[in-house]
Amino acid sequence: MAKKQKIRADFRKNRAIRARRTNWTRDFEQHGFEDEAPALGERVSGKGELSRRRTVVGGQSDDHEQPGLGVQLEVDPQLCRPGRVLAVKGLVSSVADEQGGVFRCATRRLLKTLATDQRHVVVAGDRVMFRPVEHTQPKEGIIERIEPRRGCISRASRGRQHTIVANVDQLLLIASAAEPRLKPNLIDRLLVAGEKGGVRPILCINKTDLVDPAHVQPLVGVYSQMGYEVLLLSATTGFGIERFRRALAGKESVVAGQSGVGKSSLLNAVDPGLRLRVESVSSETEKGRHTTSTAQLLPLASGGWVVDTPGIRQFQLWDVTPEETPGFFRDLRPYVSLCRFPDCTHTHEDQCAVKDAVADGRIDDRRYESYCHVLNDGGL
């Protein structure tokens, strides 16, 4: 982070709420509007209520690609202490300090009104500086600063960036062999989100006890050939659970996938002390029921942390341009530079090396369909 200084920061437009006038008719009947001078203009200065920029004391990240607010406010180290956000529920964040105490924290208003594309200012996994409030039970505090993030999983939500989790090392992408059915397109989008956020993805296929293992081998082979680690698991029989435990040990991980694939069941199998609530899959719709309502950071008995996330039913990628999309597909990447046209989209052009590789069987045709969906931002 840069040296502390006074900087001009952007804030949300019209952040001060103005009272709505309701006496227009009475004013007209009593006085009329002839003597009232119309407002010819409005000056927006650094001190006005409608100001969109303010001077704050702090610093800006030297890395402009660093995800987060981009502005680190200066705090008093005598009053504040470092912490880690365990979960965010509404306006309250659960923050753990270095001694293991958990505080219910509100977020400083200055942070919430900074102009940002973030849907939520504070997310699970954030490293923050917070000010404890004395003599409160349960313990309470105020989040004063959010440290720069790394290793984020984000998606688009109504035109804004919805960061699901921050500061993780790896993404354990949970899918199910059956009940609910496996969605390869969702897997591919989560893989792109992991590559974009700098998080190592691991593909985990649960409920292998419900199908013949030979049925999932073609899918396993496609992703294994691209260099992704693939784990076959069964939370019911315990198959592969030890490998899953070793993958989590000592790491900061996030588990993600659609509802009903068994994310919470797998974590309970790895660490029974978590006691996460689970539900069965609907027999009529073959869709899972939401049991995890918010992302929460959980400590593991074997060491490390894991973030259990709510089930995903739709995943729209955030800030992935058409030009960079082929670079996030490992199987397409070697052929991109071999196309005749440097701006080839690999969809309709002639002499396209990617399309030729698909036709020759060197690229899986289903993966190519996923690429086209992502390129056109199609639904799942």
Model pLDDT for residues 298-337, shown as the tens digit of each residue: 999 988 999 998 888 788 999 899 899 999 999 999 999 9
Band (pLDDT 50/70/90 cuts) for residue 64 is: very low
DSSP code string of 1-62: -PPPEEEEEEB-TT-SPPPPP--HHHHHHHT-STTSPP-------TTSTT-SEEEEEEEE-S
Model pLDDT for residues 177-192, shown as the tens digit of each residue: 998 888 999 999 999 9
Tell me what pLDDT residue 259 has. 87
**Residue in the block written with tokens 């900074």:** 114
Which domains occur in the chain, in start order?
59-146 (2.40.50.140), 153-308 (3.40.50.300), 325-375 (1.10.40.50)
- Are the CB atoms for 115 and 153 separated by under 8 Å? no
Tokens standing for 10?
Answer: 């952007």
Model pLDDT for residues 243-254, shown as the tens digit of each residue: 999 999 999 999
Query: In terms of pLDDT, which residue wins out, 234 or 29?
Result: 234
Band (pLDDT 50/70/90 cuts) for residue 111 is: confident
- Are the CB atoms for 262 and 207 separated by under 8 Å? yes
Lowest-pLDDT range, 30-34, 123-127, 152-156? 30-34
Is the peptide bond prior to 132 cis by the omega test (within 30 degrees of 0)? no
Query: In terms of pLDDT, which residue wins out, 28 or 94?
Result: 94
Is the peptide bond prior to 138 cis by the omega test (within 30 degrees of 0)? yes
Model pLDDT for residues 339-379, shown as the tens digit of each residue: 999 999 999 999 999 999 999 999 999 999 999 999 987 44
Query: In terms of pLDDT, which residue wins out, 365 or 13?
Result: 365
Give helix 263-270 / helix 241-248 axis angle, nearest 10°.
80
Give helix 184-197 / helix 365-375 axis angle, nearest 10°.
60
C-alpha distances in Å from residue 84, one per residue of 124, 180, 253, 306: 8, 34, 14, 13
Please compute the mean of the pLDDT values over residues 81-92 and round it to a whole number: 94
The model carries a pTM of 0.81
Query: In terms of pLDDT, which residue wins out, 347 or 118?
Result: 347
